[in-house]
Amino acid sequence: MVKKTVMTLCLLSLFYMARNDPQNESDVDSEQCSNTQEEREHLYTGLQNSPQTCSKTLRRKARDLKSEDHLIKSFGDWSFATDQVLLQTFPIDPERRNYVRQVRDAIFSVVEPTPFHTRVKLVAASDEVLQGILDLHPDVVHEEMFQAFVSGNTILYGSTPLSHRYGGHQFASWAGQLGDGRAVMLGEYVNRNGERWELQLKGSGLTPYSRRGDGRAVLRSSVREFLCSEAMYHLGIPTSRAATLIVSDDPVIRDQFYNGQPKKERGAVVLRLAKSWFRIGSLEILAANQETHLLRQLVDFVIKQYFTDIYETLGEGDRYLTFFSDVVSQTAEMIALWQSVGFAHGVCNTDNFSLLSITIDYGPFGFMDSYNPEFVPNTSDDTGMYSYENQPDVGLFNLDKLREALTPLLTEQQRFQMTKILQLYPDIYKTKYMEILRRKMGLLGEEEDDGMIVAVLFKMMTDTKADFTMTFRQLSELSLHQLENATVPSHLWAIRTLQPHEYFTRWLQVYAQRLRLQNKDSDEERKARMDSVNPQYVLRNWMAESAIRKAEKDNFSEVKLLLRVLQNPFVKQEEAEEQGYGSPPPEWAKELRVSCSS
């Protein structure tokens, strides 16, 4: 339904054309701004005199330095919140033995992480997460106790680790009980800003929900999840976060492409964080098993905890409707943001869709290189159900499953109203997506032909296989004069890919005419706006693969480099350019494949 919009706009545009033809781990400064002891005073007082290219980074560093006194410098002084709300609120599975089973009348099972047998190594850590969320000084990563904690080799005194029970629709079919098959929630932490975060280890061993799995994750997939969590955050997309990545020498057997050729890989674990890990499947399993009392308790908790305004101002029935309406709107916006950066999640099952509309569970995802609406990053997705162009419609499907899960809590009238709310989703999505596209193209206000201008650009990108990320990025570098005269400098390789297209010259002229309507909008102002929303860097599969190959040989330098670069994706960076991150992808990138095996 939703995906057809672009095609419709393309057809309209073709008619129009025929008619009118003639940014070391603690220093994430992408511009190599220094942070020596000598300059600390300057960071406090001399920001105005800093080079403009470094000003954003320097402000951030100054803020971090000012708050350094509040950071915990020894991990032994750090602890979870005294009130563990999830543990105190919900019924816990009474069975404490750790074996695969069906669980009923519980939201969580108590599960301790399985320690690694071999020595662990810290691959990388996000100083931003450590300092900004966990109140930890970055030096704690070198402490043995900290590394034991983030690897699952030890748990803190008084901690009760939990694995979550949920269900879900996988590839549109009900899969029954799923749950945290290789994840353990270590506890809740409330930081100095009053934010409550749930800390979870992914790849920490068997749980009651492991089904036929071993509960482990391999280095390959863990590098991808660690980097993409942070990359998406810095792209401005709601997401879970990643604090650390640990690798061991424990052997983990994986058949990566399900072709009968399993191989030995290294076990790894990511410490990831979210305000909540509840997902649509969290409610589905309760509705499917007619555990209505627990369903109501969980929905009420989610609303009270994360949708406070709704809880405080509305009665029970209206709360559920307004909660659903908010999730519909927020999910539409999340997917519009995915589409705007060429991101395909890969496994858009209802168990992977957050009730808080944040991106979670990074598996066989991918950022497009050449623009292809049918892009499918997951080789396990034989039918292309979760292709890039299908994601908006999949969002609608998943929200409908949320509606069904909420049904037992509603009156007949409320059920009817919820159906009407869901019908608003396509228009909400289209409106949000078009708003983002206008920003990406530097358009101010709204004009009738904006949809046509965007649609024809996508048509040309499809036909010429132009690079998605760099086409939008380099578009900002064309002055109005260059647009009107169809002059494209040689270094704008992505734009030059479009040049042979029969619509190119005319499209540039129409685009320039639209920009002319923006009185007193200079080329420089437009470029600044566009560069602030069109990234120079995204986590392309080939970039992640290059880092993975080095990491498998205990060379973690590129993982750390990518973390630095992706923390400043809108800033052109010398070290990134030297690695070719802003250049056309290498030929071998076309052969890369990712799958659900991780």
Question: What would the two tokens of residue 467 be?
Answer: 């690079």
Check residue 317 and give its pLDDT.
Answer: 75
Dump pLDDT digits (tens) for 452-475.
999 999 999 999 999 999 999 999
For residue 61, name the pLDDT band (cuts at 50, 70, 90): low
* pLDDT of 509 above 70: yes
Pairing state of beta strands 217-218 and 196-202? unpaired
Four-residue CA torsion sign, 180, 136, 230, 240: positive
DSSP state of 115: P
Check residue 1 and give its pLDDT.
Answer: 55
* pLDDT of 582 above 50: yes
Check residue 363 and give its pLDDT.
Answer: 94
* Chain Cα centroid distance, residue 432: 18
Question: What would the two tokens of residue 497 be?
Answer: 């890919």
> How far apart are alpha carbons 330 and 426 in whole angstroms?
13
Exposure on the CB side of residue 11, measured as CA atoms within 13 A: 4
Set 351, 381, 393, 467: catalytic member: 351
Dump pLDDT digits (tens) for 116-154.
999 999 999 999 999 999 999 999 999 999 999 999 999
Percentage of the chain lying above the pLDDT 90 cut: 84
Residue 499 burial (CB < 10 Å; 0-12/13-18/19+)?
middle
What is the DSSP annotation of 459-472? Answer: HHHHHHT-BHHHHH
Q: Percent helix, strand, coil in the chain (nearest 5)? A: 45, 15, 40
> How far apart are alpha carbons 212 and 214 in whole angstroms?
7
409 within 8 A of 295, measured Cβ to Cβ = yes
261 within 8 A of 595, measured Cβ to Cβ = no
330 within 8 A of 419, measured Cβ to Cβ = no
Dump pLDDT digits (tens) for 487-503.
999 999 999 999 999 99
Dump pLDDT digits (tens) for 88-124.
999 999 999 999 999 999 999 999 999 999 999 999 9
**Active-site annotation holds for 351:** yes
Dump pLDDT digits (tens) for 37-54.
333 333 333 333 333 344
Check residue 404 and give its pLDDT.
Answer: 98
- Range of weakest confidence among 12-26, 57-71, 272-286: 12-26
For residue 424, name the pLDDT band (cuts at 50, 70, 90): very high
Give the residue with greater pLDDT, 385 vs 598: 385
Check residue 44 and give its pLDDT.
Answer: 31
For residue 596, name the pLDDT band (cuts at 50, 70, 90): confident
Q: How open is the CA angle 59-360-156, to the nearest 5 degrees?
A: 80
Check residue 449 and give its pLDDT.
Answer: 96
The residue-averaged pLDDT of 554-559 equals 98
Dump pLDDT digits (tens) for 296-315.
999 999 999 999 999 999 98
Dump pLDDT digits (tens) for 388-409.
999 999 999 999 999 999 999 9
Check residue 2 and give its pLDDT.
Answer: 57
For residue 158, name the pLDDT band (cuts at 50, 70, 90): confident
> How far apart are alpha carbons 93 and 110 in whole angstroms?
7
- Single-letter amino acid code for the residue at 581: Y
Give the residue with greater pLDDT, 335 vs 16: 335
Check residue 142 and give its pLDDT.
Answer: 97
Check residue 66 and give its pLDDT.
Answer: 52
Check residue 69 and give its pLDDT.
Answer: 78
For residue 64, name the pLDDT band (cuts at 50, 70, 90): low
* pLDDT of 367 above 50: yes
The residue count of the chain comes to 598
For the chain, give the mean pLDDT: 90
Four-residue CA torsion sign, 544, 548, 549, 554: positive
> How far apart are alpha carbons 229 and 219 in whole angstroms?
15
* pLDDT of 6 above 60: no
> How far apart are alpha carbons 546 and 578 in whole angstroms?
14
* pLDDT of 24 above 50: no
For residue 323, name the pLDDT band (cuts at 50, 70, 90): very high
Check residue 598 and give its pLDDT.
Answer: 54
Check residue 48 and give its pLDDT.
Answer: 35
- Single-letter amino acid code for the residue at 557: S
